[in-house]
Structure 1
Amino acid sequence: MSDWTCGQCGSREREPGFLEDLGQGAKGYTRWIAGALDRGVFGGARLMGRQRWVVEAWRCRGCGRLDIYAREPA
């Protein structure tokens, strides 16, 4: 990622960060779940047996664009 250039403004400067999740029972960070959303009886997402990935985010210092990646299992 050292060769990164913003596709929006052309800046070569960015900073790492994360997306916060403050929902009830949340771990404080967002995770990406493989597969389409499937809701259970009470409306929540069915997660049993699905792989979860940590969401990594980078913000362009020039225009604020966010690039989001899911590279490591949670």
Structure 2
Amino acid sequence: MTNTYTCTQCGTVGLSEGFIEDAGQNSRGYARWIEGALERGILGGAKRMGRAWRQIEAHRCPKCGHLELFATTGN
């Protein structure tokens, strides 16, 4: 699906909508943006409890391939 977003690299209008997949262990299938600097817990994983998060939406330029990322819906 294309839209009226403009590529910040080459100026092309109409980027292709997509998403960044997270296929890691125990993943939910999509990547998220989490507010604040990365802090690690006791077992080495990222601390996320109580932090705001947003789903990441990706748009690709059909001309130059540049990706534009947007943090959209979340908690």
Same fold (TM over 0.5): yes
Q: Which runs of 5+ in 2 are unaligned?
A: none
TM-score (norm 1): 0.88
Instruction: Give the deviation of 1:13 after TM superposition.
Output: 2.9
Note the residue ranges of structure 1 that are not aligned, 5 or more in a row: none
In the alignment, is the contact (CA less than 8 A) between 2:7 and 2:68 conserved in 1?
Answer: no
Total equivalences in the alignment = 73
How high is the sequence identity, in percent, across the aligned residues?
48
TM-score (normalizing by structure 2): 0.87
Pairing 1:11–2:12 present: yes
> Are the counterparts in 2 of residues 54 and 72 from structure 1 also a CA contact under 8 Å?
yes
Q: Which has the higher contact order (CA 8 A, sep 6+)?
A: 1
**Paired position in structure 2 for 1:42:** 43
Q: Which amino acid aligns with 2:41?
A: G
Q: SS where residue 7 of structure 1 aligns?
A: coil
Consecutive aligned runs of 4 or more in structure 1 exceeding 4 Å deviation: none
Amino acid paired to 1:62? K
